Structure 1
């Protein structure tokens, strides 16, 4: 069993690169929108995302508060407590989307 030792055309790395190019896997990767700040698309899509994130955070908070009120047989005290928490959660989610990420500094 003798293996043919050839030039760089016969190496595994070269064959792998050729196969990746043939399959289209060696193309330059598209920049990740989450790393760049998360904003991509038309103004309509950004507006829909903002609205959905705010409303969904509030709906989840109201559902949790209402469920806990029913579970503990309390007046709507917990619903009143969870509504501002849901609003704050929605605003924090939007803050994470709109504030640009600073990849140059060492902070996380």
Structure 2
């Protein structure tokens, strides 16, 4: 048997073992493995709520810090950054709901890539 044939048979054996291992692998506690699908249901609602609250908290925190420690312009910068944080939170919710944060660019690119992946299988 030549070296090339031996390498091919070893690669075939490795591929067989790898496919068997992938088929047997499970997520802990029987959960589904992570996918690139958009979130649904309660997960989507919790993420939207967290995006809104975190945007507001960061905006108010930055505004309060600038008002108190830098410019002493209470409460104007806090009000300004409250609205900026709210806008950032709403933009994040919009991106999440439209599934724009899954792919680089637009949702159509993600759908096209998903169709291409299905064609390869």
Q: TM-score, normalised by structure 2?
A: 0.63
Q: Please state how far the C-alpha of 1:44 moved relative to its aligned partner.
A: 2.5
Hey, what does 2:54 align to over in structure 1? 56
In the alignment, does 2:108 pair up with 1:102? yes
Q: Is the 8 A contact 2:51 2:93 kept in 1?
A: yes
TM-score (ref. length: structure 1)? 0.70
Q: Which residue number in structure 2 is paired with residue 92 of structure 1?
A: 91
| Cα pair distance change 1:30/1:50, threshold 3 Å | closer
Offset at 1:16?
A: 2.3
CA contact (8 A) 2:55 2:88 kept: yes
Query: What is the CA distance between 1:5 and its match in structure 2?
Result: 2.3
Alignment of 1:1-108 (within 5 A): 4-5=1-2, 11=8, 12-24=10-22, 31-33=35-37, 38-40=38-40, 43-72=41-70, 73-100=72-99, 101-103=107-109, 104=112
* Separation (CA, whole Å) in 1 of partners of 2:90 and 2:3: 62
Q: C-alpha distance in 1, partners of 2:34/2:73?
A: 52
Larger Rg: 1
Whole-angstrom CA distance in 2 between matches of 1:90 and 1:102 = 23
Contact 1:8/1:14, CA 8 A, preserved across alignment: no
Structure 1 range deviating more: 78-87 or 10-19: 10-19
CA–CA distance in 2 between the matches of 1:30 and 1:84? 35
Higher helix content, 1 or 2: 2
